[in-house]
Structure 1
Amino acid sequence: MAQTLERLNHRIQTMGSIRGIVSTMKTMSAINALPYEQAAQAIEAYHKTVLTGFHAFVRCHGPLPVATDPGSRAIVIAFGSDHGLCGNYNEIIAEEALRVMQTLAHTRVLCIGAQMEDALIGQGITPEMTLLPPATADGLGRLSGRLITVLDTLHSADATAGVTVTLVHMQRGAHGQQHPITTRLLPLDPKMTGQLAQTPWDSRSLPQFRMPAPQLLAALIRNHLFARLFRSAAEAMVTENAARLARMQQAEQSIDDQLDALTAEMRSARQDEITTELLDVIIGFEALKARDKRKQTPDF
């Protein structure tokens, strides 16, 4: 019985230590998500400024031409996680990336995250390149700049062929749900440029430019791509931490249930031990009492 109590006590201490680790990870996931959420909101304000620049450009130079050829080469950028403990987060994104690849030809995949790379390989997809996700919100800009550099390099390798760039990442939904989303990055969305061309200029000051139109358009497109990549990376990090937070909450609840069961078992075993010791005392007392009674009885 002593061994049983010792074993139960050891299991309770172990589960308590695990619960402390899970609680710490849950707190870290909740804390880490906030800077990425703030970064996503900040880049949206920056993107509005870029769209204002597009609006001024089409106001002076007319609407942008619509790309009739979607491109003979396709690039899919999959934003995943570099760490585990977030359920099937990466597997869902890998399945969505596979679905997108089946609709495109000559597809090359850029992967964000080591866990994402494993999930893509599990779907039979070999990434062209794997980049590490940012460790903090400050790294979102570096990752976005790196992706733009990689896209420029891939495009420069065959500048005669058109290219289609698609982003795949998780997005938050209603009631804490998450779902994969696919966004086309290039060519530019004709609805966006067409809507800007049809929207009247609501300022009394007419836009003026000092840069040549080709250079200005290239700068606007580059900043647009940067903002979209930044926003997707930030959203991916927010949803990753949210997924990990949900898993840690489930793990914490499961550990609490096991601790309750172990505590109840510990109390039952301790009560059984106390009962056994009391019975031993009573049996010994009765035996001594019977012996004393036999000694007091005279023999005839």
Structure 2
Amino acid sequence: MTQSLELLARRTASMQGIRSIVHTMKTLSVINAAPYEHAARDIGAYHDTVVMGLHAFLSQVGPLEPNQQAVTTTVLIAFGSDHGLCGNYNEVLARFVVEQRDNTAAPFTVLCIGAQMADALKDQGIMIDTTFFPPASVDGIGRLANLLTQHLDELRGKTAAGDMAVSLAYFMREGDNGQKPTLTALLPLDRALLQDLQTRPWVSRSLPTFSMPPTSLFQALVKGHLFASLFRAAAEALVTENAARLALMQKAEQSVDDRLESLIAQTRSVRQSEITTELLDVIIGFEALKKNRERAAVHRPPVTLRQTSKPEP
């Protein structure tokens, strides 16, 4: 069905407005991702400082006794998104959490970041213990990390017996443009890391010293490790969320550009058809007028000229 120029013009204007919105969202994704990427990189330096403090602590206290308590509670923290326009970000992570739950024998407690992530987990049949609001800025990442640390302390206090394992589920960057869901063990502390710190010599002419009780200092270092790890996971989740939104907006922009090219081609075709029709109408009208004149000239009676005698003088 041939579309009118007016209809095509309205559709083209509407598509150009959509393209403007998509381009704006793509630009915002790039702008928003940069501060979170810087935060994820900067928290790494803080975590290195915490690890160095743990190394100094172990060099003076000596090897830690291995924990003989069995894991009786498993806590998994899922970092989702509430901002939308990032595809099936929450759904993919929810299915990943289901796989981790199926591989865990201990009781499973889920802490969720984001209401949309909570809905995605509930659709997979997972009950949520607590839902936290995702950070809206870089400053909110520290707030969220503190809230999660406090909540983990409360859960640890409610554990009657045994140890508590904590893992983080979030999207992590893979390569230049890829991302994948990952699971990071937070507690108990990595035995390989502790073993490396215990056997590594302290390289300095000054020996570390501390005045706090060893138990309090160790707990403070563990809390610092928890905070840095939670902060990094939240920042990485926000970076990958904006990367997913950017990829989706790039596909949408390409789709809109293809649609605009199609509408412009249709507009040119319809305009050319209308111009051709108008020219044909002019030509047909001219030919009809010409034939009418020729027909009138054929049927017109001849004109006779009379000679008048010249008067005699």
Q: Which amino acid aligns with 2:43?
A: I
Q: Which amino acid aligns with 1:55?
A: H
Report the CA distance between 1:92 and its aligned residue.
1.7
Q: Could you tell me which runs of 5 or more consecutive residues in structure 1 were left unpaired when the two chains were aligned.
A: none
Q: Which amino acid aligns with 2:54?
A: F
| 8 Å contact from structure 2 (residues 70, 162) kept in 1 | no
Match of 1:48, SS? helix
**May I ask how many residue pairs the two structures share in their alignment?**
300
Alignment-derived partner of residue 93 in structure 1: 93
| 8 Å contact from structure 1 (residues 134, 143) kept in 2 | yes
Alignment-derived partner of residue 200 in structure 1: 201
Match of 2:180, SS? strand
TM-score by length of 1: 0.96
TM-score by length of 2: 0.92
Report the CA distance between 1:299 and its aligned residue.
5.5
Alignment-derived partner of residue 75 in structure 1: 75
Alignment-derived partner of residue 11 in structure 2: 11
Alignment of 1:1-300 (within 5 A): 4-104=4-104, 105-298=106-299
Alignment-derived partner of residue 309 in structure 2: none
| 8 Å contact from structure 1 (residues 83, 114) kept in 2 | no
Q: Which amino acid aligns with 2:204?
A: S
Report the CA distance between 1:159 and its aligned residue.
4.5
Report the CA distance between 1:243 and its aligned residue.
0.7
Q: What is the alpha-carbon distance in structure 2 between the residues aligned to residue 68 and residue 279 of structure 1?
A: 95
Match of 2:299, SS? coil
> CA 1:172–1:281 in 2, change beyond 3 Å: closer, same or farther?
same
Q: What is the alpha-carbon distance in structure 2 between the residues aligned to residue 59 and residue 257 of structure 1?
A: 64
Question: Larger C-alpha radius of gyration, 1 or 2?
Answer: 2
Q: Which amino acid aligns with 1:52?
A: M
| 8 Å contact from structure 1 (residues 70, 164) kept in 2 | no
Q: Which amino acid aligns with 1:89?
A: Y
Report the CA distance between 1:30 and its aligned residue.
0.5
Report the CA distance between 1:69 and its aligned residue.
3.5
> CA 1:254–1:191 in 2, change beyond 3 Å: closer, same or farther?
same
Stretches of 4+ aligned residues off by more than 6 angstroms = none
Q: What is the alpha-carbon distance in structure 2 between the residues aligned to residue 293 and residue 247 of structure 1?
A: 68
Amino-acid identity (%): 53
Report the CA distance between 1:67 and its aligned residue.
2.8
In the TM superposition, what whole-angstrom CA distance separates every residue of 1:102-161 from its partner, at most 9, and x where no partner exists?
Answer: 122210111111221122122111211111111111111000001011111222223434
In the TM superposition, what whole-angstrom CA distance separates every residue of 1:78-119 from its partner, at most 9, and x where no partner exists?
Answer: 011112211222122111111111122210111111221122
Q: What is the alpha-carbon distance in structure 2 between the residues aligned to residue 250 and residue 241 of structure 1?
A: 14
Q: Could you tell me which runs of 5 or more consecutive residues in structure 2 were left unpaired when the two chains were aligned.
A: 302-313
Match of 1:72, SS? strand
